[in-house]
Amino acid sequence: VKVNSKSGAGLKQINGVVQEACKEKIERDRRRGILNRPVRAMVVGIPNVGKSTFINSFAGKACTKTGNRPGVTKGNQWIRLNKSLELLDTPGILWPKFEDQQVGIKLALIGSVNDEILNKDELAMELIRFLTKEYPKVLSERYGIETEDSLEALMQVARARACLAKGGELDLVKASNLLIDDFRSGKLGRMTLELPVQ
């Protein structure tokens, strides 16, 4: 079911789909005399993609803690939505090793990897290289950047947004955080990090 957890679009269809998917189990329970046992479903995905936001939106109230970073959900938590459905909110999971470095970079850009273990300057320059190639007008429209050199572009972001350290020097860490936050929050526009293979 295609849903938007922020707007609530598509959420009403989920209960019917869950009941249909579990029809055989519900019938088996009924034949055994077990009536009205709720379906228990698990919400699984990579970190920071909105699992808890989905549950809260679906429940119509704040049942789980949410945050714009990975690792907010610490452990498994059952949420009873109604008499017929219970959902298990789970911490996000990632595979232990990325075969392709680009996979790790994309996951870091969308916030699925803990920011505290990342070099934000390098990540911001990776984002600049990607945007320059795939969305060439975005950086000039948002920050007035007119270069394809990623370090110079990051310096221009710092100047455009007055990211300055003591002594008036450019604060590239602050500029990197700002650029990545703008990307994650959608302020740079609607875009995708992966395009269909031609």
In the chain, the amino acid numbered 181 is D
Neighbours of 196 (CB within 10 A): 5
Q: Kindly tell me the burial class for residue 3, based on how many C-beta atoms sit within 10 Å of its own C-beta (0-12, 13-18, 19 or more).
A: middle
The CA distance from 38 to 36, in Å, is 6
Domains and CATH numbers, the chain: 11-89 (3.40.50.300), 101-184 (1.10.1580.10)
The CA distance from 195 to 198, in Å, is 9
Residue pair 104/94 in contact (Cβ under 8 Å)? The answer is no
Written as tens digits, the pLDDT of the chain (198 aa) is 999 988 889 999 988 898 899 999 989 988 999 888 888 888 898 888 888 888 888 888 887 776 666 656 667 888 888 888 888 888 888 888 888 888 889 999 998 887 777 889 999 999 999 999 999 899 999 999 888 899 999 999 999 999 999 888 999 999 999 999 999 989 999 999 988 877
